[in-house]
Amino acid sequence: MEEMDGAAGRRLGSNPTHPETWLWVSGPLCLYCAERLYRYIRSNSPVTIVAVVRHPCDVIELRMLKKDFKAHPGQYIVLNCPSVSSFENHPFTLTACPTEKKETLGIHLRVVGDWTERFTELLLPEPGAELYVDGPFGSPSQEVFNYEVSLCVAGGIGVTPFACILHALLDGWRHFRLRRLYFVWVCRELQSFYWFAELLCALHHKNISEERYRPLSSRLLIGRPRWKLLFEEIGKTNKHKRVGVFCCGPKGISKTLHRLCNSDRYSGTTFEFNKESFS
């Protein structure tokens, strides 16, 4: 028996186990390569720069045209400018989506850091950069339309995902479930409101003929927002409803809104918190 055990041990030792790691790695690697190839083909043709507008507080508005490009409000794109860096891709939220009336797409970017500074130098005074756009990609802001009531809170340049949503509502509400929207934009500098002054004025003066829609109204307040009072007001106006809360702003605002959403003191109204990435 001992001799047989020894022989069996020698036989087992002489046949080492074949490596099988490649079986687990090859599948995900093939999917990754296929995804990268698809993205390369999709973004292989450069876009046409239609307009470049310099806004106050070092913000640049860029209007572009890309053939067969379709997107929904709240989505974002990835921008590549080989003249600045071929290996750097930067995400930007769409502030304007192509529609039947306008085929252009738009973004707003703040000039902060080396990449945006060099990129701006290529755009102004005359656009001389070749740009490639990949996307669009989804984000939490798209869920705004899936609630009857939504609260959108923006801090500074964090307004970009909601600007596209406001553009969509300006064209018409009929296709959306959304029936009431609360929009709060917090800015340190008053000049920041000029970024979307035309859009805000158009919304303020829009006349809605159908009875189920209320006229749009706006308020300008100086000082820090009183979030608790705002939640209480929304809760009383929309009793026993689900309210989607969407935030794109500094961590302080996000934490406050998240805490208030978890509170249960708003006339049976449920607040559901959704956070957009902000940098």
Q: Whole-prediction pTM value? A: 0.77
Burial environment of residue 39 by CB neighbours within 10 A (0 to 12, 13 to 18, 19 or more): middle
Q: For residues 16 and 19, give the distance between their C-alpha atoms in angstroms, rounded to a whole number.
A: 9
Q: What is the CATH T-level fold of the domain 140-275, as seen in this structure?
A: Rossmann fold (3.40.50)
264 vs 67, higher pLDDT: 67
Q: For residues 253 and 231, give the distance between their C-alpha atoms in angstroms, rounded to a whole number.
A: 14
Which neighbouring-strand residues pair with 246? Answer: 152, 274
Domain ranges for the chain, please list them.
48-137, 140-275
CA 153 to chain centre: 13
Q: Which helix (H) or strand (E) holds 201?
A: helix 197-204
Q: Phi, psi at residue 268, to the nearest 5°?
A: 80, 5
pLDDT band at residue 8 under the 50/70/90 scheme: very low
* Domain 48-137 = CATH 2.40.30.10: yes
Q: For residues 88 and 161, give the distance between their C-alpha atoms in angstroms, rounded to a whole number.
A: 22
List, for residues 85-137, the tens digit of each pLDDT value.
888 889 999 999 988 888 899 999 999 889 999 999 998 878 878 899 988 99
List, for residues 17-39, the tens digit of each pLDDT value.
666 776 777 777 788 777 767 66
The closest alpha carbon to 218, from 233, 235, 200, 234, belongs to 200
Q: For residues 80 and 92, give the distance between their C-alpha atoms in angstroms, rounded to a whole number.
A: 11
